[in-house]
Amino acid sequence: EDQVTQSPEALRLQEGESSSLNCSYTVSGLRGLFWYRQDPGKGPEFLFTLYSAGEEKEKERLKATLTKKESFLHITAPKPEDSATYLCAGVSGNTPLVFGKGTRLSVIA
Amino acid sequence: DAGITQSPRHKVTETGTPVTLRCHQTENHRYMYWYRQDPGHGLRLIHYSYGVKDTDKGEVSDGYSVSRSKTEDFLLTLESATSSQTSVYFCAIHGTGGTEAFFGQGTRLTVV
């Protein structure tokens, strides 16, 4: 059974304190690994797609990386506006997306 | 922004009444999904569609039905709403292969 597991469930950082979020997956024949950001009361907002091990994508203070078993979302020098829930999802071929439960990030000024 | 619209955005209904939520896309994407999101459970797949009239069940499909009579519309129906179906419902779309999915703004449904 395809699964995506995210850790930690919640993370509290001081402004400027860099850290990483983890997404481990067991999705056979992975075609894409996605990261989303979700703010309260809103739908998930697409951030990155990673297709193959070794690939990296960056956007502002965020960098996503992919290995054969997991993905990391690195947050460098976070700001309070980076506070949100970050979701990871995998897709294989024509099967539905499989989501993790998310990491709730709080960045304190 | 991806062309995906959910309606209504908010609804309060009584136990036992039928409810239909609508998802409309303008992207001509093949795949459409309905998820529900509840505290502690993350996004859970209810039903999905991989083409007109082609649908399949997700992990929490009991009590829900769907229909897709044309590419752009995917309807989720609660035949007889129960309090356990109080939730936020999200529609998502994506194309074939490993392309990313885009989400609607959500529908907050309260069953009283």
**Looking at the predicted structure, is the pLDDT value of residue B100 above 90?**
no
Q: How distant, in Å, are the alpha carbons of A24, A38, A62, A79 from that of B85?
A: 30, 22, 35, 36
Strands (E), chain A: 3-7, 10-14, 19-26, 30-38, 45-50, 56-59, 62-66, 70-75, 84-92, 98-99, 103-108
pLDDT tens for A47-95 read: 999 999 999 999 999 999 999 999 999 999 999 999 999 999 988 866 7
Residues of A in contact with B90 (CB under 8 A): 43-44
User: In a mutagenesis test of the B interface, which of A7, A25, A46 is the best target, namely the one with the most B β-carbons within 10 Å?
Assistant: A46
The maximal CA–CA distance of chain B, rounded, in angstroms, is 41
- Could you give the 3-state DSSP secondary structure of residue A74? strand
- Reported confidence tier of residue B42, pLDDT bands at 50, 70, 90: confident
Cβ–Cβ < 8 Å for B28, B71: yes
Residues of A in contact with B104 (CB under 8 A): 43
Mean pLDDT for chain A? Answer: 93
Whole-number pLDDT of residue B97 = 67
Q: Would you call A102 an interface residue with chain B, using a CB distance cutoff of 8 Å?
A: yes
**Looking at the predicted structure, is the pLDDT value of residue A40 above 80?**
yes
Q: Would you call A5 an interface residue with chain B, using a CB distance cutoff of 8 Å?
A: no
Beta carbons of B96 and A89 less than 8 Å apart: no
Beta carbons of B106 and A42 less than 8 Å apart: yes
**Looking at the predicted structure, is the pLDDT value of residue A19 above 80?**
yes
